[in-house]
Amino acid sequence: MKNIVILISGSGSNMAAIVRAAEQGRWGERLNARVATVVSNRADAEGLRFAKDHGIATAVVDHKGFSSREAFDEALMAEIDRFEPVLVVLAGFMRILTPAFVAHYEGRLLNIHPSLLPAFPGLNTHQRALDAGCQFAGATVHQVTAELDHGHILAQAVVPVLQGDSAEDLAARVLTQEHLMYPRAVAEFLRNLPL
């Protein structure tokens, strides 16, 4: 069984979409893969309840409990490595990871970012797209590198920006596409793993 570990910080809606895709046999059995655990840096992350309700192990590694980013990442790696994952998925995970963490999971660390990278790395992407007058927006699944939101792009989804859109309107439209794209991108990654 190939283990996937998902990191979240909040609602975990992308994590939930991946879990549902695996459960519904769209690729779970066929690819002999499972979401082994969901780990959050926040104890109040709503996605933890979804994971528990779906029989998935959960853990909290609270970044506020560590004196440095490096110490937090080391504790996070220790928790993740208990499951010997073939893939670590960032799904609304809101901590910038250290070069040591990224190097440890190089090639098997994905993120979904709510913009059409390389446009708008970082935070507040939807408002920035609106402020820039973009006619299209979207999301990107990419390999994670030490440089923020910079790695090899695996998939992108595009949505129109509509007249009068607020950042919330745009975020909701993009999120709908994220929930379709991320499970497919994870499945494709698993299919391409060496036997």
Pick out the residues of the known binding site for (6R)-10-formyltetrahydrofolate: 69, 94-97, 111
Kindly tell me which of 14 and 111 has the beta carbon lying closer to ligand LMY7XDAE: 111
Q: Is 123 a binder of ligand LMY7XDAE (CB under 6 A)?
A: yes
Kindly tell me which of 12 and 85 has the beta carbon lying closer to ligand GAR: 12
Which of 95-110 are b and which e, b meaning 16 or more Cβ less than 10 Å from the residue's Cβ? Answer: bebbeebbebbeebbb
Nearest alpha carbon to residue 11 among 51, 55, 62: 51
Q: What is the sign, positive or negative, of the torsion defined by CA atoms of 83, 84, 86, 91?
A: positive
Q: Is 93 a binder of ligand LMY7XDAE (CB under 6 A)?
A: yes
CB 182 within 8 A of CB 17: yes
Binding residues: 12-14, 69, 94-97, 111
Beta strand pairing call for 57-60 and 33-40: parallel
CB of 101 to ligand GAR, least distance (A): 16
Contact code string over 148-187 relative to ligand LMY7XDAE, x by CB under 6 A: xx--------------------------------------
Q: Is 94 a binder of ligand LMY7XDAE (CB under 6 A)?
A: yes
C-alpha 104/C-alpha 20 separation (Å) is 28
Active site residues: 113
CB of 42 to ligand LMY7XDAE, least distance (A): 8
Helix, strand, coil in percent for the chain, rounding step 5: 35, 25, 40
Q: Which amino acid is at 194?
A: P
Which residues are near ligand LMY7XDAE by CB under 6 A?
90, 93-97, 102, 111, 113, 122-123, 144-146, 148-149
